[in-house]
């Protein structure tokens, strides 16, 4: 059995972090995001190959994952000639497949029991199975209606309050039969939500829902990207490097240097080669990427700092995301949910 990961997006909602780093490999702590999806797929032994559907900076992704030998699963790469949309990318990547295929959107992190989804798909002899998950604010999403037997009835795009009949949305995870791909035109942008799924309903084909109310998050915005780090540190989602840590959850690499007089407040993640100088306070919910240097009396909390940054003395960073090789000057105050791209420099006494 094969799996297709739709990893071709430009990650525009996460810019400027994704200008030089494709969204599938943005770091969650010190692991590329795509590792977490591959971990989930590996829990189903019959999935013997992962097909990565790429478009944006594909070489960066292939250099990181190679043929999958180090991960224990075969990885194959398919690069779209142009952005083909969700359905178009699936057809381009899976046009020669003959057995059921698992499909993941490239920005979903979840603890879903994928084997149970495949089992339901087979029990119902479905042409397509879609995972649905509930949300608190249905009006902000496209909703999916089902009948009492779990059959998909219709899709509602961002409905008005009076149109809301369900709080379940498309979770971006599917099991599909490749012989249904014939309705998707070749090498033409095509939407799975607006074109492919409605065709199943119109033709009366067996199209069923798997309802899932466990952990699920779309990491595609700065707010959600930061939240997934907090969820892992707080134990709401069990994943490396905090999966086996008991509270208070603190991960400090062995070669990190924390000077006397520095304060570490759990939960916190401090990677290899980090230096935290005396008087600084790190945490809670701070993430310091490898080789980052924090000067005296700086404060970093509820912030994610990518590798090779330098934080000046008496700087204060709260609720911010910093890309690689950023330089924050002394006495800088960064407390507004700011997102800094790679190599950003903030001069001394900047307030943002």
Kindly report, residue by residue over 124-140, the tens digit of the pLDDT.
999 999 999 998 877 76
pLDDT for 145 beyond 90 = no
Q: Give me the pLDDT at residue 124, please.
A: 95
For residues 30 and 22, what is the distance between their CA atoms, to the nearest angstrom? Answer: 15
- For the entire predicted model, the pTM comes to 0.90
Decide: 258 and 252 in contact? Cβ < 8 Å.
Answer: yes
**What is 2-213's CATH number, 3.40.50.720, 3.40.50.620, 3.90.1310.10, 3.90.550.10?**
3.90.550.10
Rg (CA), the chain: 22
Domain boundaries, the chain: 2-213, 247-346
Tell me what pLDDT residue 194 has.
85
List, in order, residues 6 or more apart from 260 with CB less than 8 Å away: 278
Query: Is the pLDDT score of 160 beyond 90?
Result: no
Residues 153, 37: Cα–Cα separation, whole Å:
29
pLDDT at 247 over 80: no
**pLDDT for residue 241:** 86
User: CA–CA separation, 172 vs 132, rounded Å?
Assistant: 8
The pLDDT tens digits for 255-313 are 999 999 999 999 999 999 999 999 999 989 999 999 999 999 999 999 999 999 999 99
Over residues 39-56, the mean pLDDT reads: 91
Please give the Cα distance from 199 to 193 (Å, whole number).
Answer: 10
What is the model's pLDDT at position 13? 85
Residue 245 has what pLDDT?
73
Measured over the CA atoms of residue 281, residue 324, residue 337 and residue 13, the dihedral's sign is negative
Instruction: Give the whole-angstrom CA distance, residue 122 versus residue 49.
Output: 20
With bands split at pLDDT 50, 70 and 90, how would you rate the model's confidence at 157? confident
pLDDT exceeds 80 at position 219:
yes
Mean pLDDT computed over 110-130:
95
**Could you give the CA distance from residue 153 to residue 200 in angstroms, rounded to a whole number?**
10
CATH of domain 247-346: 2.160.10.10
pLDDT score of 279: 96
pLDDT of 312 reads: 96
pLDDT digits over 10-33, tens only? 778 889 998 988 888 899 999 999
Residues whose CB falls within 8 Å of the CB of residue 22, separated by 6 or more in sequence, listed in order: 7, 11, 56, 57, 58, 60, 61
Fold match between domain 2-213 and domain 247-346: no
Average pLDDT, the chain: 91
* Least trusted range by pLDDT, from 99-103, 193-197, 205-209: 193-197
Q: Region 236-265: what's the mean pLDDT? A: 89
Binning pLDDT at 50, 70 and 90, where does residue 9 land? Answer: confident
Predicted local confidence at residue 227, as pLDDT: 95
């Amino acid at each position: 059995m094969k799996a297709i990961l739709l990893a071709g997006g430009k990650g525009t909602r996460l810019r400027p972090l994704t200008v030089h780093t494709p969204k599938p490999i943005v770091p969650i702590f010190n692991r590329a995001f795509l590792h977490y999806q591959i971990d989930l797929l590996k829990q189903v032994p019959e999935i013997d190959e992962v097909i990565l559907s790429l478009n944006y900076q594909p070489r960066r992704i292939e250099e990181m994952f190679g043929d999958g030998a180090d991960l224990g699963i075969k990885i194959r790469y398919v690069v779209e000639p142009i952005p083909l949309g969700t359905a178009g990318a699936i057809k381009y990547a899976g046009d020669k497949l003959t057995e059921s295929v698992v499909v993941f959107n490239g920005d979903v992190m979840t603890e879903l029991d994928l084997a149970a989804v495949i089992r339901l798909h087979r029990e119902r002899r479905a042409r397509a199975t879609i995972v649905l998950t509930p949300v608190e604010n249905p009006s902000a999403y496209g909703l999916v209606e089902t009948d009492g037997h779990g059959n998909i009835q219709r899709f509602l795009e961002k409905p008005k309050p009076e149109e809301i009949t369900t709080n379940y949305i498309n979770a971006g995870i599917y099991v599909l039969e490749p012989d249904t791909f014939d309705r998707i035109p070749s090498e033409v942008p095509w939407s799975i939500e607006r074109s492919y799924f409605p065709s199943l309903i119109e033709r009366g084909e067996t199209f069923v829902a798997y309802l899932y109310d466990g952990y699920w998050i779309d990491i595609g915005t700065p707010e959600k990207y930061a939240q997934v780090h907090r969820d892992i540190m707080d134990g709401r989602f069990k994943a490396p490097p905090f999966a086996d840590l008991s509270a208070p959850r603190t991960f400090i690499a062995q070669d990190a240097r924390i000077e006397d007089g520095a304060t570490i407040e759990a939960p916190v993640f401090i990677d290899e080669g980090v230096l935290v100088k005396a008087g600084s306070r790190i945490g809670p919910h701070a993430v310091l990427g490898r080789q980052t240097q924090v000067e005296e009396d700086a404060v970093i909390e509820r912030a994610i700092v990518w590798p090779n940054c330098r934080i000046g003395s008496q700087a204060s960073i709260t609720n911010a995301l910093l890309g690689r090789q950023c330089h924050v000057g002394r006495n800088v105050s960064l407390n507004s949910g700011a997102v800094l791209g790679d190599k950003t420099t903030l001069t001394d006494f900047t307030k943002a």
